[in-house]
Amino acid sequence: MVDFVELAGYNGADTGGHSRVRLLKDTVIPLTGQDVLLVEDVVDTGLTLNYLRKLFLLRRPASLGVAALLDRPYRRLVDDLPVDYVGFTVPDEFFVGYGFDVDERWRNLPDLRLAKV
């Protein structure tokens, strides 16, 4: 089965300048006893992924893994954040194509490319 969640991260004066994560859309599939694989496009600081992992672990899945197309482990703000499957470890650059965009441009390119911004 496949399900989707929607999260929003934000900074603000009410958070003391720290990043917060809000769950906008939750799963409809019960996770208890299920093998769950979180699929992420990019893992950067790890704040959003860490929030989602903790939330899902409270639901007692049989297993919980993480897959990411792009990983930037040197930007992590969360210690010991497991990313079990990584497509590419990439530098601190903007990428476009394959669904990634800069200012709503170049999302439709059939491959990943470094953006010239």
Q: Is residue 102 part of a domain?
A: no
pLDDT digits 0-9 by tens, 60-83: 999 999 999 999 999 999 988 999
Q: How many domains does the chain divide into?
A: 1
pTM for the whole structure: 0.84
Residues 71, 95 contacting (CB under 8 angstroms): no
Q: Is residue 107 part of a domain?
A: no
Token duo for residue 34 = 């299920």
Q: Is residue 109 part of a domain?
A: no
| pLDDT for the residue numbered 16 | 47
pLDDT digits 0-9 by tens, 32-48: 999 999 999 999 999 99
Beta carbons within 8 Å of 64's beta carbon, 6+ residues apart = 36, 37, 38, 53, 56, 57
Q: Is residue 31 part of a domain?
A: yes
Share of the chain above pLDDT 70, in %: 91
Q: With bands split at pLDDT 50, 70 and 90, how would you rate the model's confidence at 4? A: very high
Q: Is residue 101 part of a domain?
A: no
| pLDDT for the residue numbered 117 | 67
pLDDT digits 0-9 by tens, 46-64: 999 999 999 999 999 999 9
Beta carbons within 8 Å of 116's beta carbon, 6+ residues apart = none
Beta carbons within 8 Å of 69's beta carbon, 6+ residues apart = 40, 41, 42, 87, 88
Pairing of strands 95-96, 20-25: unpaired
Enumerate the active-site residues. Answer: 44
Q: Compute the mean pLDDT over every residue in the chain, rounded to the nearest whole number.
A: 90
CATH number reported for the structural domain that contains residue 70 in this entry: 3.40.50.2020
> Residue 31's domain spans which residues?
6-92
Q: Is residue 48 part of a domain?
A: yes
Q: Is residue 111 part of a domain?
A: no
